[in-house]
């Protein structure tokens, strides 16, 4: 009986060690995958298109220009505005609003292809400060970065497509 208990204890210990090793290997693989995604994001991008998808159907080209940047320290900043903003501003002495500008740290959930911009500052959208701008990312075979916005039901309401600016 003592031998049976000792054998069972050894088998349990071996199973426990294998599980720990397996978890450590899985954690290391997940860390490597996260680092690869972060590295893929690092750089400066120009806005190619900003398309909205109304609940009623169809799509709307918002006709925007902009830039977004991700750095090696998990920080980002983004700016965008309607292409016609300078012309509209030239036609009045009043302040003309439009666009977005914000910055802050970034986190990733690679299992969901989700990047979260934790907004620390925004001169154009003060209500965004302290909020999270969640985007679902995709890198296309053409090298574009697509960041999609989803509503609380998971429906894509907009997609910003970015092209890396080469050094």
Q: CA end-to-end span of the chain, whole Å?
A: 72
Per-residue pLDDT tens listing for the chain (167 residues): 445 444 444 455 555 445 555 566 767 778 888 899 999 999 999 999 999 999 999 999 999 999 999 999 999 999 999 998 888 888 887 776 789 999 999 999 999 999 999 999 999 999 999 999 999 999 999 999 999 999 999 999 999 999 999 86
Three-state SS string across 88-151, please?
HHHCCCCCCCCCEEEEEEEEEECCCCEEEEECCECCCCHHHCCCEEEEEEEECCCCEEEEEEEC
Cβ neighbours for 158, distance < 8 A, ≥ 6 positions apart: 50, 51, 52, 53, 62, 148, 149
pLDDT at 20: 53
* Tokens read off for 3: 């031998």
Candidates 2.40.128.320, 3.40.50.620, 3.40.50.2300, 3.30.950.10; CATH matching 42-164: 2.40.128.320
For the record, the structure tokens of 137 come out as: 């990312």
pTM above 0.85, yes or no: no
Contact by Cβ (8 Å): 119, 101: no
């Amino acid at each position: 009986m003592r031998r049976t208990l000792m054998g069972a204890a050894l088998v349990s210990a071996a199973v426990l060690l294998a599980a720990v090793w397996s978890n450590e290997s899985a954690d290391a693989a997940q860390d490597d995958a996260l680092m690869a995604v972060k590295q893929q994001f690092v750089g400066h991008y120009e806005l190619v298109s900003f398309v909205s998808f109304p609940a009623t159907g169809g799509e709307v080209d918002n006709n925007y220009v902009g830039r977004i940047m991700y750095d090696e320290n998990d920080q980002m900043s983004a700016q965008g505005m309607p292409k016609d903003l300078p012309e509209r501003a030239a036609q009045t002495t009043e302040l003309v609003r439009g666009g977005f500008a914000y910055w802050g740290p970034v986190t990733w959930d690679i299992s969901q292809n989700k990047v979260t911009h934790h907004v620390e500052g925004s001169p154009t959208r003060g209500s965004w400060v302290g909020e999270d701008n969640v985007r679902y990312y995709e890198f296309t075979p053409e090298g574009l970065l697509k960041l999609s916005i989803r509503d609380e039901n998971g429906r894509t309401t907009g997609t910003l497509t970015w092209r890396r600016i080469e050094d």
